[in-house]
Structure 1
Amino acid sequence: MMRLLALVSILFTVMPTLTFSQSFEADVIVYGGTSAAVTAAMQVVQSGKTVLVVSPDKHLGGLSSGGLGFTDTGDKSVIGGFAREFYHRVYMRYDKPETWKWQKKDEYGNKGQGTPAMDGAERTMWIFEPHVAEQVFEDFVKENNIKIYRDEWLDRSRTGVQKNNGRITSLKTLSGKTFKGKMFIDATYEGDLMAAAGVKYHVGREANSVYNEEWNGIQAGVFQHNHYFQKNISPYKIEGDPKSGLLPYVSNEKIGKNGDGDNKIQAYCFRMCLSSHPDNRIAFTKPAGYDPAKYELLARVYKAGWTETFQKYDPIPNRKTDTNNHGPFSTDFIGQNYDYPEATYERRKEIIREHELYQKGLMYFIANDPAVPADVRAEASEWGLPKDEFKDNGGWPHQIYVREARRMIGHGVMTENETLGKKAVSEPIGMGSYALDAHNAQRYIKEDGFVQNEGDIGVHPKQPYSISYASIIPKKAECENLLVPVCLSSSHIAYGSIRMEPVFMILGQSAAAAAVQAIDRKVAVQDVDYPKLKTQLLKDKQKLEL
């Protein structure tokens, strides 16, 4: 008896240090916390199947609730399904007087991207504050009784994703949880589940020759926005003296030939939400490691007469902005994200922190440094981070703008030829319409010794285009039960248009509809009966073709 009691005592002493793996199961496992993840989960539930969302993020909605409130709509008539429902829910919130806390509704300019911010005729709101968007996503989750496991990170080791006969059977997270399903949807910006499942993908810019394109690859000397150096600016610490060394954030790598591919990706930034209301404003302060020398290139741009600082302080309700990159030296941290797509979680955190410190330092520099024109400093000082947004992060966005990372090489590939209407698209599951919009990928030294940016492209389709079902599914030999609506199969330049948040919501919903049909018919996602899928998508009020 004494021995038994001693053994029990030992077990109770050891027990708190033991960890037990937990296993969960559903028809569909959605990995990610983006807007696409939410719409995918909604579709599964409303189709009568079970779903679990495994989200590395604590906050839902990705960029849609992470600062990108000045929505890149393109032609809003092709936005349907749950995406349109999202923008309708936003409208309903702003239709309430209590939502207008820092500004009267009639004082708001109702400015949007090619459409009124608040469209009373269609009862949609396309421009909004981050916390309003996040609440709409949370309402969707609550109403549909969606179970979400937050702060759960995929184990990206060889044992993190289990496959059998070409199908994913389960994924494991770093906390030890295992999630089993019949179908899996990778709704992350990075494509980690896709990569861990052994699906082929591409990082960087393809050469134009790969898909017979014009706007892919290196595009030196092509200037379609104002994000380039319009005057000769020296990149050297001592102007005109190469021996003095380069200023920060200028590459000494020799630029390649136009149209050639490379490993570079368009720049990331944070879409800052700023407030101009004195009672809702946090002043810009010096971030850790701040050094004004890091912004000397911008000082020289000001010295050359640049005056466009505030042109992308796009207004959102309640005296706030969605502040985006603008000009030759701005919030885009050019050339500092190349390793992000494939990086470890630890390295990604470092990259995100580097972007945060760079951008916070930039704002402090603009508001305080004597090298900045006095009128610019005065206006910049009227802005600050909002006290009522991202409250658990000091007003700073919780989501970095991952404009592109991995892109699947799938069953079919969307290229500029499809997005520009040169080639027909078969089996459409949604539509896009925004410009082929790629931000700068590098800052280099021209042959004349002056600095220049490269990679910023903006080519407008003549009309909205369809997106193929083949672009969200892998090749059958690689995986039969995975759909990828965010890191879909697309060339770099085509992705510049497809990568818009309304499109991700559309594709997330369509991917889930396909997953449900694959379960019902017990087939691979590559063998889904498209006519039946099309019927379901139209029933769900998706827009598929003109």
Structure 2
Amino acid sequence: MKKNVVNLISLPIILVLALAFLWNCKQETEIKADSNTADIIIYGGTSAAVIAAVEAKKSGKSVIVVSPDKHLGGLSSGGLGFTDTGDKSVIGGLAREFYHRVWQHYNTDVAWKWQPKEEYGNKGQGTPAMDGENRTMWIFEPHVAEKVFENLIEEYEIRVDRDEWLNRENGVEMADGKIVSITTLSGKTYTGKMFLDTTYEGDLMATAGVSYHVGREGRDVYGEEWNGVQTGVLHHGHWFESDISPYITPNDPSSGLLPRVSDEHPGEKYSGDDKIQAYCFRTCMTNHDPNRVPFPKPEGYDPMQYELLGRVFDTGWDGWFNKFDIIPNHKTDTNNHGPFSSDNIGMNYEYPEGSYKRRKEIIKEHEQYQKGLLWFVANDPRVPENIRLEMSKWGLSKDEFIDNDNWPHQIYVREARRMIGEFVMTENELLKKRPTPNSVGMGSYTMDSHNIQRYIKEDGFVQNEGDIGVSTNGPYAISYGSLVPKKDECTNLLVPVCVSSSHIAFGSIRMEPVFMILGQSAAAAATMAIDEGIAVQDVKYEMLSKSLLEKGQILK
């Protein structure tokens, strides 16, 4: 009898414990499910991603950065340290805060490891590199930029999930014109109220079904002068000034083409195409022996790939070192210069729409090409002795990109997809021929496109095409409408990098400070859309502009 009583008393206790266990399991499952949920989901690891995330947190929103990259900052931390800024007075808000923090770093003794601060020449673009008056610094080493970005992430306690790649086949769930969630190749699903695509490629935008364009529009599409094929337009020093044969045996077409020359017709002048401006790596070099790593000879090196450059040297051309732009500690941000240089012309056309596998192949080919180019100039007897001997004093910087054999972890994606959104920025807005509605930031850099193709002229000699440099004649406004898709396509996505613009307009907008500016403005707009429960296209501009001005953004 006593035993039965004990069992009857124990039964409710067991049931309570079982229910409590099940409840805890349910709660844990819900917490686990909610752990990948935030007000704002940012896809990408660029400078725009970090700045947008900081703005979201400062505005009181939860945010997760879903980054395919392991290193944050994109090109800003990937070698582009000689910043393309234009008029620095229109760089405000958190973008200016980034350059202020760089300035703070270089005002410490520990920053100057390889040279005294007073020895640094302080050369910048338009202003001194270290601008004491404005407490900003525009020229910096890659690892310093990355540290500033990482400090911002840590300071604002921002969650970053790295090495997470969007499933581009079916990784975007849509409902009622909104993105509900995104899923990565690892199987993680992220749910949010608002989404930002801050990648250079525009993968989230494209997978969500938003309209976009790849390549150059014909001149007539938007009534522009500088769009489309530009044969015969030679704006910079990146063209063949001398008559150089593209054939293996000079002037003998039957001998075959040299590598990296196209035998296709370049297209009718001003016509559109699906070709994009050349990519390269912005290499960080040094001639300071204690920190120098000799240029590696890449596996499969083929000197014939650089025969065209040898023929350029034969003409007496001596501009090889003209874009070894000096950054602190005896280092460079080395960019393309001349008719045959680090720009791997014509080898990136498949990149914007390519699979991850295909993109990796293209990136590897660019790395092989550029490493071979450096080895060729430093070692090959085909190169004039004075240039070869000087180049052999240079190498990669031992203390940069240390987990990638001192090679930049980010290729320079100068252009990929460009959204076709609520408003399309064109050269007409940049040149102030037409007013720009609803400014959310400003640009000012030259409309700049690198070469797009290397072809054979009618006279049988080789030439480059696509290199354009046209002044905007002062700063210009960038429209909020260029950050948002058409309303009937998606109502909770903002795109501050692959902005809605023509090819030639993007040639100016595509600068890293501008991406940071637009990243902040996009996050501020996303915050307002959440608070008001409205589509991003319905954000009241009067309220947005007031908020942006309070945050230090410069709109006009």
Scaled by the length of structure 1, the TM-score of the pair is 0.96
Is the 1:22–1:176 Cα contact (8 Å) retained in structure 2? no
Name which of 247, 255, 260 aligns with 1:244. Answer: 255
Identify unmatched segments of 5+ residues in structure 2: 1-31
Counterpart residue number, 2:26: none
The offset of 1:445, in angstroms, is 0.0
Is the 1:430–1:466 Cα contact (8 Å) retained in structure 2? yes
The offset of 1:23, in angstroms, is 6.0
1:34-93 deviation digits (Å, cap 9, x = unpaired)? 000001000110000100000000000000000000000100000000100000000000
1:515 aligned onto 2:526: yes
Q: Which has the larger radius of gyration?
A: 2
The offset of 1:21, in angstroms, is 9.0
Counterpart residue number, 1:477: 488
- Tell me which amino acid in the other structure corresponds to 1:124: T
Counterpart residue number, 1:198: 209
1:37 aligned onto 2:54: no
- Tell me which amino acid in the other structure corresponds to 2:237: N
1:489 aligned onto 2:500: yes
Is the 1:22–1:177 Cα contact (8 Å) retained in structure 2? no
Query: How many residues were matched structurally?
Result: 525
Name which of 357, 360, 363 aligns with 1:352. Answer: 363
1:528 aligned onto 2:528: no
Identify unmatched segments of 5+ residues in structure 1: 1-19
Name which of 60, 64, 71 aligns with 1:52. Answer: 64
The offset of 1:258, in angstroms, is 1.0
The offset of 1:285, in angstroms, is 2.2
Matches within 5 A, 1:204-243: 204-243=215-254
The offset of 1:221, in angstroms, is 0.8
Instruction: Single out whichever of 378-387 and 505-514 deviates more from structure 2.
Output: 378-387
Counterpart residue number, 1:145: 157
In 2, Cα distance between equivalents of 1:507 and 1:22: 29
Query: Relative to 1, partners in 2 of residues 1:228 and 1:516: Cα closer, same or farther, differing over 3 Å?
Result: same
In 2, Cα distance between equivalents of 1:116 and 1:381: 30
Counterpart residue number, 1:16: none
Other structure's SS at 1:334 match:
coil
In 2, Cα distance between equivalents of 1:512 and 1:438: 28
Other structure's SS at 2:514 match:
helix
Is the 1:21–1:177 Cα contact (8 Å) retained in structure 2? no
Counterpart residue number, 2:412: 401
Matches within 5 A, 1:430-469: 430-469=441-480
In 2, Cα distance between equivalents of 1:356 and 1:507: 30
Other structure's SS at 1:246 match:
coil
In 2, Cα distance between equivalents of 1:422 and 1:139: 42
The offset of 1:119, in angstroms, is 0.3
In 1, Cα distance between equivalents of 2:61 and 2:295: 48
Is the 1:35–1:504 Cα contact (8 Å) retained in structure 2? yes
Name which of 409, 433, 443 aligns with 1:422. Answer: 433
The offset of 1:255, in angstroms, is 1.6
- Percentage of matched positions with identical amino acids: 67
1:117-150 deviation digits (Å, cap 9, x = unpaired)? 0001111000000000000000000010000000
In 2, Cα distance between equivalents of 1:383 and 1:109: 19
Other structure's SS at 1:385 match:
strand
Matches within 5 A, 1:2-17: none
1:295-351 deviation digits (Å, cap 9, x = unpaired)? 000000000111000000000000000000000000000000000000000000000
1:132 aligned onto 2:144: yes
Matches within 5 A, 1:380-395: 380-395=391-406
- Tell me which amino acid in the other structure corresponds to 2:131: D
In 2, Cα distance between equivalents of 1:395 and 1:276: 14
- Tell me which amino acid in the other structure corresponds to 1:163: M
The offset of 1:22, in angstroms, is 9.0
In 1, Cα distance between equivalents of 2:65 and 2:297: 38
- Tell me which amino acid in the other structure corresponds to 2:149: F
Scaled by the length of structure 2, the TM-score of the pair is 0.94
- Tell me which amino acid in the other structure corresponds to 1:51: V
Is the 1:23–1:180 Cα contact (8 Å) retained in structure 2? no
Counterpart residue number, 1:307: 318
Name which of 88, 94, 106 aligns with 1:82. Answer: 94
Other structure's SS at 2:248 match:
strand
Counterpart residue number, 2:83: 71
